[in-house]
């Protein structure tokens, strides 16, 4: 009987490492060359694409695709992916990728230029855009350098424009605040002037008589006859002059209060306001005599009231 020399097939024990199969890589380079590692290496080699404003270039699986921005696709001579899934967009690599980056940078720069504050200096950025617009005739290194300078200029313009917008807004707010303050001051001055004119009119003889007649009727119920007595009384006392001062005793104002400071019980402006003096005088007559005619009769009999 012939002895079978083939070794029996052994089942790997739990936790043991299976022997390499015929397809296992035999070198470290082959072991590291996996699809995921290849994609990561491709991404490290290619700088990230500029995506700003309306630019739309995307990295898919380690290569670039034209997105939904028609301007970029048209600039590259590649159909737009608008209306289609991103995964079906044309892949970009190498020189095409460089040109896509340049087109995206130009789109963003032009958007910033269009939106820039009119006071912002955009000369440098405009020059950078014109220089980058020749990207179809440039080498990859030249495109990269011009993209970098254009991005820097775009950022500078955007920042300067934002600062100028804020400065303009602050200046407009300050101007509005000044205008409001000036309008309020003018209105206050006009009110003060109107009050002064009204006071000046009230301080005249006619104005003081009109005030006294109105107050006598509305507050005390004294009619025309009583006002006639009041007119006679105060004509004799002061001639209805709010500035009158009796040199013999110091009696002051239209009602000839003695001392004049008594009228401060009505208001502090008793020396300059005929209405304050009339108010005090009517109160005094009402309290001391009851009516102007009674006060006038006492004045005629005694030469004072």
More confidently predicted of 52 and 199 = 199
Looking at the chain, the whole-number percentage of residues with pLDDT higher than 70 is: 70
pLDDT of 283 > 60? The answer is yes
pLDDT of 285 > 60? The answer is yes
Q: Are 69 and 54 in contact (CB under 8 A)?
A: yes
Q: What is the number of residues in the chain? A: 305
DSSP-assigned letter for residue 252? B
pLDDT in tens, 38-93: 544 443 443 343 434 334 333 333 333 334 344 444 444 444 444 444 445 556 77
The per-residue pLDDT for 174 is 98
pTM of the model: 0.53
More confidently predicted of 45 and 244 = 244
- Average the pLDDT over 88-112 and give the result: 87
pLDDT of 188 > 60? The answer is yes
**Pairing mode, if any, of strands 63-66 and 57-60?**
antiparallel
Q: Count Cα atoms within 13 angstroms, Cβ side, for 255.
A: 28
1-40 CB burial, b ≥16 within 10 A, e <16: eeeeeeeeeeeeeeeeeeeeeeeeeeeeeeeeeeeeeeee
Q: Are 67 and 54 in contact (CB under 8 A)?
A: no
Question: Among 126, 116, 117, which residue's Cα sits nearest to residue 171?
Answer: 117
The per-residue pLDDT for 38 is 52
The per-residue pLDDT for 66 is 36
Confidence of residue 35 (pLDDT cuts 50, 70, 90): low
Q: What gap in Å lies between CA 288 and CA 223, rounded to an integer?
A: 19
Q: What gap in Å lies between CA 284 and CA 39, rounded to an integer?
A: 106
């Amino acid at each position: 009987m012939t002895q079978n020399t083939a070794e029996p097939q052994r089942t790997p024990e739990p936790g043991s490492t299976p022997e390499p199969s015929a397809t296992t890589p035999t070198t470290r380079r082959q072991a590291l060359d996996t699809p995921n590692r290849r994609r990561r290496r491709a991404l490290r080699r290619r700088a990230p694409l500029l995506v700003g404003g309306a630019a739309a270039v995307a990295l898919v699986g380690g290569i670039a695709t034209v997105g939904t921005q028609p301007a970029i696709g048209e600039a590259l001579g590649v159909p737009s992916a608008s209306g289609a899934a991103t995964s079906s967009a044309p892949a970009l690599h190498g020189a095409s990728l460089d040109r896509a980056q340049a087109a995206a940078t130009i789109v963003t720069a032009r958007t910033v230029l269009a939106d820039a504050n009119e006071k912002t200096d955009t000369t440098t950025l405009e020059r950078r855009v014109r220089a980058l617009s020749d990207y179809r005739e440039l080498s990859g290194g030249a495109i990269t350098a011009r993209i970098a300078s254009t991005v820097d200029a775009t950022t500078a313009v955007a920042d300067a424009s934002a600062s100028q917008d804020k400065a303009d807004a602050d200046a407009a707010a300050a101007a509005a605040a000044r205008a409001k303050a000036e309008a309020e001051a003018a209105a206050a001055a006009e009110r003060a002037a109107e009050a002064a004119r009204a006071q000046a009119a009230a301080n005249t003889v006619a104005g003081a008589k009109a005030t006294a007649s109105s107050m006598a009727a509305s507050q005390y119920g004294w009619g025309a006859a009583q006002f006639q007595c009041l007119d006679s009384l105060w004509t004799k006392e002061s001639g209805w002059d709010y500035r009158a001062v009796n040199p013999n005793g110091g009696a002051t104002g239209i009602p000839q209060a003695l001392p004049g400071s008594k009228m401060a019980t009505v208001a502090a402006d008793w020396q300059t306001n005929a209405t304050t003096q009339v108010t005090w005088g009517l109160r005094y007559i009402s309290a001391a005599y009851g009516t102007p005619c009674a006060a006038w009769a006492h004045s005629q009999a005694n030469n004072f009231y």
